[in-house]
Chains A and B, each alone.
Chain A
């Protein structure tokens, strides 16, 4: 059972409150997307689940254990990919497996499998700087998926991609989530992306951020059979999608962004 729980989490930077009273529970194998105005502390939430940052008050738990350090049970896909530029695609993906002490033969099989899923076959020996942005992000996702992590933490993973590539990656992610569901916490400021990907969308207030409301997408998606439509633009045309998008967009509009302070 891999759940993520934020219990009354607060976080201050130099005595300025960035987050206060954040309460959120991500269920096992649930895909939760956090949206919020820029500067609201959504990335900080994800970093605390990853063990890269720690609450000033309250507690963050993953699978009922308090988070005290980073670890390969919670794979992170960073906004800026953070691929090791000195390692080939293969070695980047291999890095976490070696750290876990997986035997060589098994590593080769798992890497081959994940590169196939991410359509990266034939690029094993390429270096990140030789790849396009979309391919780099696929490597970053492969590097996380290959560990078969119980929890996947994604911080605006498609933010740096062009619109076309982003759509392909979003469709890919939905497919992966269907084939191999994981507990996912996904950060974005794109409302459409949130509605398309999420089981539930959590809307955050502006700083100091807390969870303003949580909107259930999954029940509507299943009732309206979104999954029967393979392409994202078909889903986005559905009335049920437009309605959810508008609801979340209005909720978000009420919050000031960092730029307006």
Chain B
């Protein structure tokens, strides 16, 4: 891959290029299904999917409209992600400061984090039920590792001069963690939250395979049962679009923290 030249494309050009990419993608898709290369039963046309999406906007399928399914997913997702951040970030910071805790937790964590969120589905259902608890646990297992790892790395790589300054100024361990490690690690933590948010959202469909009543994943499973490929694709597009928006917001937060720090 070539690096961008110093005077890179302007914002307008980037927008045009992005739109061009989307046009090519949907054009290929339309060509594949439109010229009968792939039967609609395997790949419905973009128009059919768009029509289905608009239909689902105000007509319930699987007992709710698409926006309500999205909202239900987002609520579940927010809980799972916030839980992951609330446990992962402090634990990572403490592991970065207390070597003993690091030595105890790291081996267990480093093995557990390679187990894909979807692999937790059976136990999530068994332990926390198929109501709210099970899906949250699956999202949690997706979002948790980056939250912890980035807080840990941020804390470990804090410039030692700040730690020494804090110690010579008489700071307690807790104060060093809260007022030195935490703020010094904010850029790393925010990056971790962004990655965690992405992985958490990816884990959503897996999580909702075991949800009984609502959610985009649930709607897709129901669409599959009803052999409605446009419904399944509508769900996929909704997941992609919402994930993209969540990432855009977090990317903005990330840029903001860097700017405020004077890093950029």
B172 pairs with A82, CB closer than 8 A: no
A127 pairs with B262, CB closer than 8 A: yes
Determine whether A76 belongs to the interface, using a CB cutoff of 8 Å to chain B: yes
**Interface size range on B against A:** 10 to 19
State which of A67-75, A107-115, A201-209 sits at the interface with chain B: A67-75
Query: A84 to chain B: which residues have CB within 8 Å?
Result: 162, 165-166, 179-180, 183
Shortest CB distance A188–B (Å): 19
Query: A190 to chain B: which residues have CB within 8 Å?
Result: none
Determine whether A96 belongs to the interface, using a CB cutoff of 8 Å to chain B: yes
| Chain A, Cβ-Cβ closest to B182 | A86
B170 pairs with A96, CB closer than 8 A: yes
A96–B5 alpha-carbon span in the complex (Å): 47
Determine whether B161 belongs to the interface, using a CB cutoff of 8 Å to chain A: yes
| Chain B, Cβ-Cβ closest to A99 | B170
Question: Taking A78-B161, A99-B175 as contacts, is the C-beta distance between A85 and B168 under 8 angstroms?
Answer: no
Select B164's contact among A52, A83, A87, beta carbons within 8 Å: A52
B167 pairs with A70, CB closer than 8 A: yes
B148-184, CB < 8 A from A: 161-162, 164-172, 175, 179-180, 183-184
Interface string of A40-83 (1 = CB under 8 A from B): 00000000001110000000000000000111101110101011
Query: B186 to chain A: which residues have CB within 8 Å?
Result: 86
Query: B113 to chain A: which residues have CB within 8 Å?
Result: none
A82–B164 alpha-carbon span in the complex (Å): 9
B168 pairs with A95, CB closer than 8 A: no
A71–B166 alpha-carbon span in the complex (Å): 9
Determine whether B41 belongs to the interface, using a CB cutoff of 8 Å to chain A: no
A95 pairs with B179, CB closer than 8 A: yes
Shortest CB distance A142–B (Å): 12
Question: Taking A84-B180, A84-B183, A99-B175 as contacts, is the C-beta distance between A52 and B167 under 8 angstroms?
Answer: yes
Question: Taking A86-B183, A95-B171, A99-B175 as contacts, is the C-beta distance between A76 and B262 under 8 angstroms?
Answer: no
| Chain A, Cβ-Cβ closest to B183 | A86
Shortest CB distance A78–B (Å): 6
Query: B168 to chain A: which residues have CB within 8 Å?
Result: 50-52, 70-72, 74-76
B165 pairs with A99, CB closer than 8 A: no
| Chain B, Cβ-Cβ closest to A140 | B165
Question: Which secondary structure dominates where chain A touches chain B?
Answer: loop
Query: A25 to chain B: which residues have CB within 8 Å?
Result: none
A129–B263 alpha-carbon span in the complex (Å): 10
B183 pairs with A80, CB closer than 8 A: no
Determine whether B59 belongs to the interface, using a CB cutoff of 8 Å to chain A: no
A86 pairs with B261, CB closer than 8 A: yes
A83–B161 alpha-carbon span in the complex (Å): 9
Determine whether A100 belongs to the interface, using a CB cutoff of 8 Å to chain B: yes
Shortest CB distance B204–A (Å): 34
B184 pairs with A86, CB closer than 8 A: yes
Shortest CB distance A93–B (Å): 10
Query: B171 to chain A: which residues have CB within 8 Å?
Result: 95, 99
Determine whether A143 belongs to the interface, using a CB cutoff of 8 Å to chain B: yes
Query: A76 to chain B: which residues have CB within 8 Å?
Result: 164-165, 168
A147–B183 alpha-carbon span in the complex (Å): 23
Query: B164 to chain A: which residues have CB within 8 Å?
Result: 50, 52, 70, 76, 78, 82
Shortest CB distance B33–A (Å): 54
Query: B180 to chain A: which residues have CB within 8 Å?
Result: 84
A99 pairs with B262, CB closer than 8 A: no
Best-surrounded residue of B164, B165, B186, B261 (most CB of chain A within 10 A): B165
Query: B166 to chain A: which residues have CB within 8 Å?
Result: 84, 95
**Additional A-B contact list (13), CB under 8 Å, known A95-B166, A143-B169:** A51-B168, A72-B170, A78-B161, A78-B165, A82-B161, A82-B165, A85-B262, A86-B183, A87-B179, A99-B169, A99-B172, A99-B175, A130-B262
Which 3 A-B residue pairings sit nearest by Cβ, starting from the closest? A72-B170, A96-B169, A99-B170
Residues in chain A within 8 A of chain B (CB atoms): 50-52, 69-72, 74-76, 78, 80, 82-87, 95-96, 98-100, 127, 129-130, 143, 147
Residues in chain B within 8 A of chain A (CB atoms): 161-162, 164-172, 175, 179-180, 183-184, 186, 261-262
A–B complex contacts, Cβ < 8 Å, 21 sampled = A50-B164, A51-B168, A70-B168, A72-B168, A75-B168, A76-B165, A76-B168, A78-B161, A82-B162, A82-B165, A84-B166, A84-B183, A85-B261, A85-B262, A86-B186, A86-B261, A87-B183, A95-B169, A99-B169, A99-B171, A99-B175
